[in-house]
């Protein structure tokens, strides 16, 4: 029995999320498991680094599965992509040590929240970005984001239905920057609570619009009360960009994460 690791990207627009559902509905996990089963000639269960919600995308998702099928890595790569829908692609396949776990061995993950910030609603890119028509001050948003760095209780930024045992997470880095008419929020942390990045984005948007001062993020964090944190930003702006692992596992980090200055010492 071999354990294989995959690098996956997908457009989450038409999915109910990553996780396979017991009721009817299209999921990323379900589509990938069907594709693997066709190549392997046996059923499989795949485990990912981080489950994404409905409408959320991934450029650097990592997952693993076990198989007794004998295929070359190139054969797996071409076979999987031939059997996947157009909105999912596998970018690489690696043999992994038997004990490798895509979720539990991850050191850090990077999410990006993309905002189209202009007066008129977008037609192109509307499924991969949120739209905010009020002008956003990215400098003030970055100042507010700094209060969230480090290890904290992020209860104020978790969804009510979050099932994580502990609300404590360590945020290694938050970068907010403007690129033309887009504002990008990149967050690197050792783990994320349900809706954590979307709730962070909601707080930073309120600061960027001038509806709150840049110390508000600190007060929301200290309050540990989700009802004080404002709205949850729309799902389509969110994308899982990268996952970092110990070097011994040989898991590549997408180039997009590194060229944006978000490689971290862990």
* Residue 53 annotated in active site: yes
Exposure string over 213-242, b if 16+ CB within 10 A, otherwise e: ebebbeebbeebebeebbebbbbbbbbbbb
- Chain center to CA of 205: 19
Instruction: Please tell me which residue in 53, 87, 153, 213 is annotated as part of the active site.
Output: 53
Catalytic residues, which ones? Answer: 53
């Amino acid at each position: 029995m071999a354990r294989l690791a995959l690098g996956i990207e997908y457009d989450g627009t038409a999915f109910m999320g990553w996780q396979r559902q017991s009721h009817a509905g299209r999921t990323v996990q379900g589509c990938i498991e069907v594709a693997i089963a066709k190549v392997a000639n046996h059923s499989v269960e795949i485990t990912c680094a981080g489950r994404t919600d409905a409408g959320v995308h991934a450029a650097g998702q990592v997952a693993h599965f076990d198989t007794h099928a004998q295929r070359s890595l190139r054969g797996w790569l071409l076979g999987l992509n031939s059997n996947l829908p157009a909105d999912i692609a596998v970018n690489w396949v690696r043999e992994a040590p038997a004990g490798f776990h895509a979720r539990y061995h991850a050191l850090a993950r990077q999410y990006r929240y993309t905002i189209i910030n202009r007066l008129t609603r977008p037609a192109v890119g509307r499924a991969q970005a949120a739209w905010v028509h009020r002008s956003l001050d990215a400098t003030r948003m970055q100042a507010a984001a700094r209060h969230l760095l480090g290890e904290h209780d992020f209860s104020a930024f978790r969804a009510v239905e979050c099932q994580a045992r502990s609300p404590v997470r360590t945020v290694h880095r938050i970068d907010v920057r403007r690129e033309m008419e887009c504002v990008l929020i990149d967050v690197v942390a050792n783990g994320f609570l349900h809706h954590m990045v979307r709730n962070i984005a909601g707080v930073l948007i309120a600061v960027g619009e001038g509806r709150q001062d840049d110390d508000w993020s600190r007060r929301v964090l200290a309050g540990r009360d989700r009802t004080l944190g404002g709205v949850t930003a729309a799902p389509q702006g969110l994308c899982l960009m990268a996952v970092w692992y110990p070097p011994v596992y040989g898991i590549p980090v997408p180039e997009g994460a590194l060229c944006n200055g978000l490689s971290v010492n862990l």
